[in-house]
Chain A
Amino acid sequence: MTRGIWTRETVVLMLLASYLPLTLFWLWFGGVEALLRLGFVALVLAFWNLVFLLARAQPISLAFLITALAVAMLAPEGLGVLRLALAISFGAVMGELVFGGWGRNVVNPAVVTLSFLGFGFPGFPWPELAAPVTWAAIPAALIGVATGSMSLGVVASAAIVAVGAVATGALPPTVAPVAGIVLVLLVADPVTSATTLFGRWLNGALYASLVTLFAGGWHGAAPVQVAVAAALLTSLAAPLLDEMALGIWYEQRRRRHGRN
């Protein structure tokens, strides 16, 4: 009779609201060039969403704007239109649309796009984000957690591990801010991160640990590249983390109730 509001599109709108400070700061420092890049990525994604709407009757979700923002912010520079369009098409179609659209995907389409670009065109320089833009990740995370669209566990555990790693000198201070942006844009994505309470804490901690590991052991890699690679491996590991958390939960219940 009455209906609540937490449908797929509400979560997308809340995520978009939390990315607003990040987007504004990035556009402010990037100027018209950044705006054009965002518009182009959004256009390609909109095209593929439209194709899947007409061919497979998959309703369009505004989530493609989040993917567009992540790709436009983090993709290597100077790629040209064709290479970028190719990578976005691969990421959006193989990462998200063939699984049935946003909410049924296993990996984040932006992560697939960025990894594709990293492996396919390694010669192009990764972007360097201005310091104020990286600071804008903090309000983004706060809004996301407050509206419940990002999980507190992922963000908090990643922050705790990262602070510890920076304090001990394991994580260079140049990588940490970029890792924060990737955390907010890609890792904290509610669909591809872990869904259980403990799994989320593991998820954030694993991401921060991988970033620390890559930053220390991967010579010559740009901070964005390090963070995106860590995000890819983390999202692939998310179902495993969930399974571990569920295993622990089953065992706890079996001990308490003596049966499953």
Chain B
Amino acid sequence: MQQGAALARLHKASDVCFVAPMRARVARIELLQGHRLAEIVLFREPEDEAVRHDTSGADNEAGLRRLMQTAGFWPWLRRRPFGGMPGADERPAAIFVMATDTSPLAPDPRMAIEGQEEAFGRGLHALTRLTDGPVFVCQQPGPPLFDGVPARGRLRSVDSGPRHPQGAPGLRIHTLFQASIEASVWDLHAEDVAHLGALIATGTLPMSRLVSVGGAALREGRLVRTQPGADLRGLTHRVTKPGPHVVLSGSPLDGHPARWLAPRHRQVTVLPGVKKGPQRHWLIGALTRSAAPKPVIPNAAIDQAFANALPAVAFVRALMSGDEETAMKMGLLSLLEEDVALADYVLGGEMHLAAALRAMLDRVRSEFAE
């Protein structure tokens, strides 16, 4: 396969492709039950050769959509409510470009797009063709990341605070332009926007991304440019401390143990393996564990965990009691698992808020959206 050649297509929308991130040979294809695709493993081939896509239609919306879908850019977009890749002909009410990433150990998006300012500006203007609503560029306070005349005032630069979760996409969307079932909102990373600009200019989608490798089980952290789906063992080779450890794709808060870098992740975290303590007596276990999770006590930490953007305790209570209507009024549809990860961490990991949020979103989708 050449770099950028389609590896797989969606069954119901054949324009939407998943492409090879490098010139490679297909090593293995794994299917789940019902022939659902689980993973395609590639071996890298030596020469670099990339597919050039036809960019002649990128000036209009239909052509741009087609280019983004056939070049493999579409899976880098994420929609809210409910998360995941947007539908092939979905039109968002607003688009958020995240040029800030406040999650712990995250790479600085400004550094990621350094030297690609022109492509970034081109990508931003292309995004304004996909929506009638605003395109927000969320960044840390500083000089604006794009220049030129904003497209009819729809391109807006907004500053966010430096502490997590002030730059979390869900909370920015909740504050600035909340998503709803009728009006979806997309978000994508600033580096991907620069790549979109490069794709429109050259016809080739750059596949590198700035990824930070960090965590307590490493001798030293590092920043690398690698591809989506990179082998995490390769990225952490020779810098891991001896002893048991867990390699996560994603941040320490919301990452999951993985072998490959997940599609939208820009962080690899290596944490020391947790040793299991001595087992508690069965009677103590029976008496103390049956009432889990323990109730949430309102305190300043949980308010801060949602950056004071929503009534935190009331929202957590609605989430844990399965009160969908209240949670939707409070902004459930703008949020995804990563936005409640900090609250989950702060509360000691007992509440499993991310799982509760996902279960509630799935229920809302089946009840209201389908």
Contacts and interface: CB of A to CB of B under 8 A. Distances in A.
Contact of B345 (A3, A57, A242, A259): A3
Contact of A7 (B178, B271, B328, B350): B350
A195 B313 contact: yes
Given A101-B291, A250-B329, A257-B177, A4 B301 contact: yes
B180 A246 contact: no
Contacts of A242: 314
Interface in B283-313: 286-288, 290-291, 294-303, 308, 311, 313
Contacts of A102: 295
A57 B287 contact: yes
Interface string A221-260: 0000000000000000000001001100110010001011
Nearest to B326: A246
B295 A100 contact: yes
Contacts of A151: 298, 300
A166 interface: no
- Chief secondary structure at chain A's binding surface: loop
A4 B287 contact: no
A81 interface: no
Nearest to A148: B300
Residue with the highest number of chain A CB atoms closer than 10 Å, among B248, B252, B286, B294: B294
Interface in B258-295: 271, 274, 286-288, 290-291, 294-295
Nearest to B302: A6
B346 interface: yes
Contacts of B345: 2-4
A53 B290 CA distance: 11
B271 A257 contact: no
A78 interface: no
A4 B346 contact: yes
Given A100-B291, A103-B296, A148 B308 contact: no
A59 B294 contact: yes
B88 interface: no
B349 A57 contact: no
Interface residues of B, number: 38
B347 A6 contact: yes
A8 to B, nearest CB: 5
Contacts, number: 101
A196 B314 contact: yes
Nearest to A196: B311
Given A1-B271, A103-B294, A6 B299 contact: yes
Contacts of B298: 151, 190-191, 193, 195
A93 interface: no
A259 B180 contact: yes
B348 interface: yes
B308 A246 contact: no
Contacts of A167: none
A197 B311 contact: yes
A6 B311 contact: no
Nearest to A3: B349
A8 B314 contact: no
Contact of A190 (B290, B294, B297, B347): B297
Contacts of B296: 8, 103
Contacts of B178: 253, 257, 259
Given A1-B252, A257-B177, A257-B178, A7 B294 contact: yes
A185 B15 CA distance: 65
B274 A7 contact: no
A194 to B, nearest CB: 9
A209 interface: no
Nearest to A9: B294
A97 B38 CA distance: 49
B121 interface: no
B318 to A, nearest CB: 11
Given A2-B271, A242-B314, A246-B311, A58 B297 contact: no
A149 interface: yes
A151 B180 CA distance: 32
A32 interface: no
A5 B298 CA distance: 14
Task: Pick the most buried of A2, A59, A102, A246: most chain B CB atoms within 10 A of its CB.
Answer: A2
Contacts of A14: 299
Contact of A6 (B252, B301, B314): B301
Interface of B: 177-178, 180, 183, 246, 248, 252-253, 255, 271, 274, 286-288, 290-291, 294-303, 308, 311, 313-314, 328-329, 345-350
Given A4-B348, A245-B311, 17 more contacts: A1-B255, A1-B271, A1-B274, A2-B253, A2-B345, A3-B348, A4-B346, A7-B348, A8-B296, A59-B288, A100-B291, A190-B297, A190-B299, A193-B298, A195-B314, A197-B311, A259-B180
User: What 6 pairs across the A-B complex have the smallest Cβ distances?
Assistant: A148-B300, A103-B295, A7-B348, A195-B313, A4-B346, A57-B290
Interface of A: 1-8, 10-12, 14, 53-54, 56-59, 100-104, 148-149, 151, 190-191, 193, 195-197, 242, 245-246, 249-250, 253, 257, 259-260
6 contacts: A1-B271, A1-B274, A4-B347, A148-B299, A196-B314, A250-B329
